[in-house]
Structure 1
Amino acid sequence: MSSPTFSSSSTADDVASAFSNEIAGKNVLITGTSKNGIGFETALAIAKHGANLVIITGYNDQRLKESENAIKAQVPTANIRRLVLDLASLSAVRTAADEVNSYSEPIHVLIHNAAAAISPFKLTVDNLETQMATAHIGPFLFTKLILPKVLASASPSPSPYTPRVVFVSSMAIRSGSGSGVNFETIAKPDAATYDAMDAYSQAKCANVMTALELCKRARGRVNAYSLHPGVIFTNMIQKEESRELAQASGLMNADGKPNTTGGVEWKTLAQGAATTVTAAFDPRLNDKPGAFLSDCAVNDEIVPAHCTDPGNRAKLWEVTEGIVGEKFVF
């Protein structure tokens, strides 16, 4: 049987269908799964193609219930579990992690999809910048706390399996400079120097750096990947707080619709989730830990040096440990 090939137009269902044998029986936790988002589309495709358990998360249980109902409307047999997880609160992250650690099942795949809106300067309850907290610091702590559940899914030969952690990043990593992240403002955000798009780029750089450093420190016990899903008209970009910036950058027209004449190649939600499903289940990635994907394929050459630099990655890891007040060790 030939290996499947995908393109920018492939959907999450296309990929999940091709890798249904890898999905079957797996327990998958996906952050940020509200309807009209790529996390929801990822959860739907995985549930449709045989996952044993799909854990959907978000900070609003009512919206999670809507997502659960929408998935079950298409896949009545889906085993969906809701988890309230507010990544913008370290206390809430710890509470959610305690709940996961009480589950009887291991976690085969952890997908970090959630992100905050690209918006004016805002602090979390922990006095952290919201984009960096939601996309990097909260996920870092959550991964550290549920690591035993992730490691418990590993299996030796004759059917070896290495757990996966997937970070939904962005091509915005290429707009950063220097170290890719500002190590001073991660712990002490500065409203005077804040730029919303730069903050987004820094958070997405942090995703790539964490994936690479996690692979290094795990020494083969976990495989982590990061990816660019494409440009998608998700619920995040449609939020009122993001609208002005989206219009100023040319992504959105004055009427609030996607700008299809500005040279941007828009993807549907299902197309946007395809690369996430690839990163989570494509067995061809087993010997490519730390890979960066776009359009369902490895695309490491586009990752800038400020993301791959070992010194930057180690420093980000240590700075983040300092913020959460815990050492992330194996």
Structure 2
Amino acid sequence: MSQEFSFTTTAEEVAAAFAGEIKGKNVLITGTSLNGLGFEAARAIARYANLVVITGYDEGRLKLSEDVIKKENPTAKIYRLSIDLASLASVRQAADEVNRLTEPLHVLVHNAAIAFVDFKLSEDGFELHYATNHIGPFLLTKLLVPKLLASASPDYTPRVVFVSSAAHALPGGHDVGFAALTNPDPTNYSRSGGYRQTKSANVLMGFELSKRSKGKINAFSLHPGLIYTKGFDKDYALVHFQNAGILDEHGQPVTSHAWKTIPQGAATTVAAAFDPSLNDKAGAYLADCQAANDQISPHCADPGNAEKLWNITENLIGESFSF
């Protein structure tokens, strides 16, 4: 089925193709504000799923997302979950709430992320990119492992999806940033570097989670594509992308680059969550709804880096995974 998908495939098209796989499934997607990739994935999946848990740190925006999904699909079952991924306390509270739900969890999608922010430490003392894009999702996964394993059956393996970026392989991104993770230092910090390092972490976690679970969980990472979102409007992002030649002097997309729409960008997330042809490709990196391990930068294909990142992060949160 996946061989029919391409650069222009939309999340709705992928969800329709895998409606049978989505039916009866319970899915949690982080970062589901309107007009974003997470929302679009949730909208497409909600048409067929048993339950979609949408998350964000702003309850009002979450309610807007739920309202739009339910207006389109009145029978969709949506659960709103407030979470601040940069706060370990908030992550623990949200995980407790999910674990109290009666339903098991079939798919966990780590979509939420921040990008190109000024140097700042989280309330737990971590650099904000790492806190939001890696450490928070790592802890959330760890705490929801029992809920994921409860969905397993002889013919189904639960999945965890990390929305990464091709930015992990760009110049300046060839570094996992272990020093930034353990000893954040504003004098050695760059906004683009912080983003790229955490997108590298996403790729490494897809590989390492699959490896450590020994077949109990299938994890994947992916590049959604180059998509013009509201994040480009922020001053720091605007200047960065103008300097990179991605946006013009008016802040508009440079047409020489291959841009995707939001529905096209969310397609690979839905494929990673449900395409059965990926069952024997645990840990794979996807692009355009296809396994694309040839696009992984060498530092993210290094098992030693994956193992080191995992061990450091377990130490930082003070907890170990148990499968």
Taking structure 2 as the reference length, the TM-score comes to 0.96
1:58 to 56, 75, 80: 56
* Cα distance in structure 2, aligned partners of 1:325 and 1:302: 33
The code of the aligned residue for 1:24 comes to K
- Match of residue 170 from structure 2: 175
Secondary structure of the residue aligned to 2:20 is helix
**1:52-71 deviation per Cα after TM superposition (whole angstroms, max 9, x unaligned):** 00000011111100110111
Cα distance in 2 for partners of 1:284, 1:248 equals 40
Q: Which amino acid aligns with 1:81?
A: Y
Aligned partners of 1:128, 1:37: CA distance in 2, in Å?
Answer: 26
The answer to whether the Cα contact below 8 Å between 1:151 and 1:221 also exists between their aligned partners in 2 is: yes
Cα distance, 1:320 vs. partner?
Answer: 0.5
Matched, 1:268 2:297: no
Q: Does 1:36 align with 2:35?
A: yes
Distance, in Å, in 1 between the alignment partners of 2:272 and 2:313 is 24
Alpha-carbon displacement from aligned partner over 1:206-228 (angstroms, at most 9, x marks no partner) = 00111111011100000000000
Of 87, 90, 93, which residue of structure 2 is paired with 1:89?
87
CA contact (8 A) 2:172 2:193 kept: no
Q: Give SS of 1:165's match.
A: strand
Indicate conservation of the 8 Å contact 1:179/1:312, yes or no: no
Aligned residue in 2 for 1:303: 296
* % identity of equivalent residues: 56
Assess, with a 3 A threshold, how the Cα gap between structure 1 residues 314 and 250 changes in structure 2: closer, same or farther.
Answer: same
Q: Aligned partner of 1:25: which letter?
A: G
Deviations 1:99-149 (A, max 9, x none): 011110010000000001322222211121111111111000000011100
Give 1:256's aligned residue.
251
Per-residue Cα deviation, 1:5-41 (whole angstroms, up to 9, x for no partner): 1110000011111110001110000000001110000
Contact 2:168/2:174 (8 A) holds in 1: no
Tell me, yes or no, if the aligned pair for 1:32 and 1:57 is still in contact at 8 Å: yes
In 2: Cα distance, 1:329 partner to 1:227 partner: 25
Judged with a 3 Å threshold, the aligned counterparts in structure 2 of structure 1 residues 237 and 123 are, in CA distance, closer, same or farther, namely farther
CA contact (8 A) 2:268 2:286 kept: yes
8 Å CA contact 1:31–1:58 kept in 2: the answer is yes
Q: Which residue of 2 aligns with 1:326?
A: 319
1:99-178 matches, within 5 Å, as: 99-156=97-154, 160-175=155-170
Aligned counterparts of 1:253 and 1:142: Cα–Cα separation in 2? 38
- Number of residue pairs matched by the alignment: 323
* CA separation of 1:13 and 1:174: change in aligned 2, threshold 3 A: same
Query: In the alignment, is the contact (CA less than 8 A) between 1:58 and 1:85 conserved in 2?
Result: yes
Distance 1:79 1:128 in 2: 35
Q: 2:58 corresponds to which letter in structure 1? A: N
Gaps of at least 5 residues in structure 2 are none
> Distance between the aligned counterparts of 1:179 and 1:265, measured in 2?
23
Mean alpha-carbon deviation: is it higher for 116-125 or for 201-210?
116-125
What is the CA–CA distance in structure 2 between the aligned matches of 1:248 and 1:142, rounded to whole Å? Answer: 35
Q: Matches of 1:70 and 1:178 in 2, distance apart?
A: 37
Structure 1 gaps, min length 5:
none
Q: Is the 8 A contact 2:105 2:150 kept in 1?
A: yes
Give the counterpart letter for 1:17 in structure 2.
A
How far apart, in 2, do the equivalents of 1:83 and 1:90 lie? 15
Contact 2:173 2:197 in 1 (8 A): no
Equivalent residue for 2:183, pick from 179, 188, 194: 188
TM-score of the superposed pair, with normalisation by structure 1 = 0.94
